[in-house]
Amino acid sequence: MPDNLQQQVKTFFEQQEVKTALNEIAQKYFKNENQRIFLYYFDLVKTGQNNIDDILKFLINKMKLDVDVALNINEELFDKIFADAYYYLAEFYEQVQRQRMAKYIETVENPKLHTDFPPASRAGSQGNKETFSKQGLKAHDLEKKYKEFIKSSLYQNAKNIEDEMEKKLSVDLAEFKNIFYSSINAADKVKVIGALFAIFKTGIKDFFKDDNRYEDFLNNFLLKKDLQEAKDFSQNKIAEKYIVLFIRLILEKKLKLDEQDSALVGIVLGSLAKQASNEEFADIAYGDEINNKFVWENL
């Protein structure tokens, strides 16, 4: 492990403003023993034993905080403390893990990211699917973009509340839908995408079947755009193309994601659908190697 990276992390945590900010957040949100547990997490980040990307998961699963409170703390931590240090803290953690693995295996492999890159990309919208290992420079660029996306705070925060969302979905569908649609109206990117992750791990079409809010939203959009399409929608409201259109509109119009980030969310959703044997939704987005970008499938 390069000494300069280890020293960089050590120096960062020794800064008085970092210590003060951590203590202020601990005192603001926790009492007594929980303050010590909260601060101890960052002692282990400092040594590479805890991952900076897992803070939200720690707050929800270990500290048993409400999702909204955990999101507030996580946002405050990154805004006040970790924004400029994130990349070398994350890299330091990965290096420590590789060093540990080296004690047990002869060839050290790169640690997997939270979501592996889906194995298929396409050379244009009509091209055949091929693995990235068979592609050239542009495929490498696409893989790099994907890995950067799943290291982003948006993806990480959404992924960290995925289990909580899935639990709410399984326990009370009506309440989950209220949360989902209110989050859309509030343009809460993390909650909406976290909810979509949960939906795509379960029954996608079942979720949207007989859903008045979904139907009203799309019907209003289609009536302004194409009357024939609106008529077709009324005959088959949970067709794949309409569900995907709804998701794109939510991501791009409501959450203001650009087309690239929207398609990257689509890549993840497709991967989750495939894992859940919802093959119909497995290829809703893909890597276009000709234009070197991620795009949605034209359904």
User: Which structural domain, as residue segments, surrounds residue 190?
Assistant: 121-296
Report pLDDT for 212.
93
Query: Cβ distance 156 to 114 under 8 Å?
Result: yes
- Asked whether residue 133 carries a pLDDT value surpassing 60, the answer given is no
Strand partners, 129: 122
Together in a domain, 170 and 31? no
Report pLDDT for 262.
95
205-216 confidence digits (pLDDT tens): 999 999 999 999
75-120 confidence digits (pLDDT tens): 999 999 998 888 889 888 888 877 765 643 432 233 233 344 554 4
35-85 confidence digits (pLDDT tens): 999 999 999 899 888 888 889 988 998 888 999 999 999 999 999 999 888
Report pLDDT for 144.
84
Tell me the one-letter amino acid at 21.
A
CA gyration radius for the chain?
21
* Residues 6+ positions from 142 with CB-CB distance below 8 Å: 121, 132, 287, 289, 292, 293, 294
Together in a domain, 126 and 217? yes
Residue 94 located in a structural domain: no
Residue 115 located in a structural domain: no
Residue 174 located in a structural domain: yes
The reply to whether the predicted model has a pTM over 0.75 is no
Which structure tokens are listed for 226? 């194409």
- Asked whether residue 2 carries a pLDDT value surpassing 70, the answer given is no
Residue 97 located in a structural domain: no
Strand partners, 294: 287
Together in a domain, 67 and 212? no
Together in a domain, 62 and 152? no
